[in-house]
Amino acid sequence: MYNIGIDIGGTTIIGGVVDAHGKIITKKSTPALPERENRLIIADIITLCKSLISDAHDINSIGIGSAGIVDPVCGTVINAANLGFLNVPLGDMLKAELGYPMHIDNDANCAALGESLFGAAKGSTNSVTITLGTGIGGGIIVDGSIYSGSFFGAGEVGHHIICMDGEPCNCGLKGCWEAYASASALVRDTIKAVKSNPKSMINTLVNGDLDKITAKTAFDAAATGNETAKVVVERYIYYLCIGLINIVNILQPEVIVIGGGISGQGSALISQIEKRINNVTYLSEIKTKFAIAKLGNDAGVIGAAQLNK
């Protein structure tokens, strides 16, 4: 028997047929085109599911990971601004069309579940998975299950405040962790540094085109010994660790898994985190381990397929 996992993002909807070992047998995708009416997006999800069903036949259930706040009990997307979903009974709508048992949760929660079962947190009971991308997403696993909180919004770690009245965040608040430790924040700070120091190696790496700066640029320049880039990276790691320290002190997970574009720095990133964080946490000895995500962009699909367990 197989399960289908669907990961609904603001840009792309990805679906896969997943076996009992977390291996994706077949994977397909379709553009999300979120500017459309809800019914058209949902119609494409149904078409994608039917295509996957036809490839595998022996399907047990379908799991959906959606952006936004999701009520997994009622199967409703309460609010997914990037998709234009507001109180959409997605689970019931898909079940009526497809006839299979349907399970739905937040996409970051699904990614966390995938990593806990088959990825970097495999073997742990309590873990937190964060994604360092355009924003900062997060999912919490407690006693092997997704922790959604009383109102289904737990895990929004990117929006805890680390600097009162600090940098503006896309959510409308100021000082959110996301405004300091996301990939977007690192790009912003790298551009500021280049403008202040135009002779920096950073400028050389992008041939003077600031639009080519990515979250990787500062790390690459710092690796050459460039002082401007080293300051940018050190500042970034500082703010990243403030948020990680808060997670450790509040939740004490066995593992914190780091995914998203920044995770491409691999073991070097983990080494910098461990070096700084062990000296500034409230606890005298940090037992939480830090690991780079293993499942990549497939984590949401794999995790969604496991929502029936």
How confident is the model over 239-252, as pLDDT tens digits? 999 999 999 999 99
- Give the single-character DSSP code of 66: E
CA distance 235 to 59: 48
Q: Choose among 80, 56, 55: nearest CA to 69.
A: 80
> What angle do helix axes 227-251 and 267-277 make, rounded to 10 degrees?
70
Residue range 122-293 forms a domain whose CATH class is alpha beta
Start-end ranges of CATH 3.30.420.40 in the chain?
2-117+298-305, 122-293
- Give the single-character DSSP code of 176: B
Strand, helix or coil for residue 121? coil
CA distance 119 to 20: 14
- How much is the pLDDT for 287? 87
- The domain 2-117+298-305 is placed in CATH, from the list 3.30.465.10, 2.60.40.3620, 3.40.50.2300, 3.30.420.40, at 3.30.420.40
Q: Choose among 109, 147, 141, 139: nearest CA to 127.
A: 141
- Positive or negative, the CA dihedral 12, 257, 109, 17 is positive
- How much is the pLDDT for 279? 65
CA distance 238 to 256: 17
- How much is the pLDDT for 284? 59
Within 10 Å of residue 193's Cβ, how many Cβ atoms?
21
Contact (Cβ atoms closer than 8 angstroms) between residue 128 and residue 157: yes
**Rg of the chain over all Cα atoms, to the nearest angstrom:** 20
The burial of 101, by beta-carbon neighbours within 10 Å (0-12 exposed, 13-18 middle, 19 or more buried), is given as middle
- Give the single-character DSSP code of 170: T
Q: Which two tokens stand for residue 200?
A: 């920096």
| Residue 244 φ then ψ, to 5° | -65, -40
Which helix (H) or strand (E) segment is 84 a member of? none
- How much is the pLDDT for 171? 87
Contacts for 204-210: CB closer than 8 Å, 24+ residues apart: none
Contact (Cβ atoms closer than 8 angstroms) between residue 167 and residue 173: no
Residue ranges of the chain whose pLDDT lies below 50: none
Contact (Cβ atoms closer than 8 angstroms) between residue 104 and residue 66: yes
Q: pLDDT tens digits for 22-71?
A: 999 999 999 999 899 999 999 999 999 999 999 987 999 999 999 889 99
Q: Which two tokens stand for residue 187?
A: 């790009």
- How much is the pLDDT for 183? 94
**DSSP-assigned beta bridge partners for residue 292:** 258
Chain mean position to CA 47:
26
